[in-house]
Structure 1
Amino acid sequence: MLNVTDLNAWYGKSHVLQDVSLKVDAGEVVCLLGRNGAGKTTTLKSLVGAIGARRGDIRFDGEAITALRTYQIARRGIALVPEHRGIFGLLTVEENLAIAARKATLWPLAEIYKLFPRLHERRRNRGTALSGGEQQMLAIARALIGGPRVLLLDEPTEGLAPVIVDELADVVRAVRGAGVAVLLVEQNLSFCEALADRHYILDQGRIVYAADRATFAGASRERERYLAVTAD
């Protein structure tokens, strides 16, 4: 479904991504791991055209989308839920959802509220009145109501209570069950292992390891080398 080959990206003169290649198939959860500064968020932004200085081949259902603008990529069905969530604080929950709704979606408003009962309870509250977990739910719900075929999630569990993390895991499973592909950037390794079918590790802008769920579970050397936090 989504195939990336030799993706390069720059911030100014800084060559952040170097020949990154990965793929995400329909109904699959793929996790992109790495330490802070490895280039994970840059990868997601590059996939939706939010970073202009890029080179390589990005294909969605066989169509080259590398040269497309962000809104054109979104219309084709690739949705990014950014780390900062990006909800409109002065709008209510329902207004945030209404501005993103599309007719061709698996999750119209009624289904969104089944998936996120907390949002139904808070539907008349402004974004600024929501907790961090509720804001994250709203950010994901707003992406889903737009009818994506590929969902890109950037650090969805950061700073959230364990009970909310468990609820988000159930949401990701439901999305995968509907046949939507999910590319997940996450620091919470247990969250990734519980959900992902495959894993990539990014280090200093390069993919240095790729494995399926079973192989990754036994990859203690790669975990220690590329993911462990050490003190000098």
Structure 2
Amino acid sequence: MLELDNIHSYYGKSHVLEGVSLHVDAGELVTLLGRNGAGKTTTLKSIMGLVDTRRGHITFEGHDVTGQQPFHIARRGVALVPEHRGIFSILTVEENLKISVRRGSRWQLEDIYQWFPRLKERRRNSGNALSGGEQQMLAIARALLNDPRILLLDEPTEGLAPVIIDEIVKILAAIRKEGLPVLLVEQNLRVCEAVADRHYILEQGQVVYHGSADDFQADPSIRDRYLALSA
């Protein structure tokens, strides 16, 4: 469904991704792991056409989208929920949701309120009155209303309380059960191990590990080698 083949991406003259290849198949939830600065967010931005990708190919549902404008990629059904969430703070929760509804989407407002009861409770509150966890839920819900074919999530649990993280995990599990493929950038290994089918690890702009969820969990040396904090 989504395939990155040997992509090289840059910020100006800075060569950030150095030959990244990965794929996400239909119905999969795949995580992209790595230390800070490894290139995880840049990978998501490359997929969305927000970063200068000078070599390699990005293919989505058989179409080469390398170098296309972000709005063209979004129209194909690629939805990015960025780390900063990007909600409209002066609009209410319901206004944020309503402007995102796409006609014919498999998820409508009533479905979102069933999945996210907190948002229904806070539907008349403005975006800037929400907690960080509620803002994250709103960002994910807004992406779903746009009827994506694949969801890219950048650090959805960062800075959230454990009880809210548990809610996000349940939402991710429900999205996976619905068959919507997800590429998840996440630092919380507990979250990743709870929901993922496969894992990739990036280090200095390169894929240094790829394995199934079972293989990753069975080999703690992978975590020690690539994800533990350096001394």
Displacement, 1:53? 4.2
Q: Distance in 2 between matches of 1:12 and 1:67?
A: 15
- Where do residues 55-70 of structure 1 align in structure 2 (5 Å cutoff)? 55-70=55-70
Do the aligned partners of 1:46 and 1:54 also contact (CA within 8 Å) in 2?
no
Q: Distance in 1 between matches of 2:114 and 2:68?
A: 34
Cα gap change, 1:54/1:143 in structure 2, threshold over 3 Å: closer, same or farther? farther
Displacement, 1:54? 3.6
Do the aligned partners of 2:8 and 2:15 also contact (CA within 8 Å) in 1?
yes
Could you say which residue in structure 1 is the equivalent of 2:127?
A: 127
- Where do residues 194-213 of structure 1 align in structure 2 (5 Å cutoff)? 194-213=194-213
Do the aligned partners of 1:11 and 1:53 also contact (CA within 8 Å) in 2?
no
Could you say which residue in structure 1 is the equivalent of 2:180?
A: 180
Do the aligned partners of 1:93 and 1:123 also contact (CA within 8 Å) in 2?
yes
Do the aligned partners of 1:29 and 1:183 also contact (CA within 8 Å) in 2?
yes
Could you say which residue in structure 2 is the equivalent of 1:95?
A: 95
1:220 aligns with 2:220: yes
Q: Distance in 1 between matches of 2:203 and 2:218?
A: 19
Q: Distance in 2 between matches of 1:43 and 1:54?
A: 13
Do the aligned partners of 2:8 and 2:19 also contact (CA within 8 Å) in 1?
yes
- Where do residues 33-182 of structure 1 align in structure 2 (5 Å cutoff)? 33-182=33-182
Do the aligned partners of 2:53 and 2:67 also contact (CA within 8 Å) in 1?
no
Displacement, 1:230? 2.8
In structure 1, stretches of 5+ residues that fail to align are none
SS in 2 for 1:107: coil
Do the aligned partners of 2:7 and 2:53 also contact (CA within 8 Å) in 1?
no
**1:77 aligned partner, one-letter code:** G
Task: Provide the TM-score with structure 2 as the length reference.
Answer: 0.98
Do the aligned partners of 2:2 and 2:59 also contact (CA within 8 Å) in 1?
yes
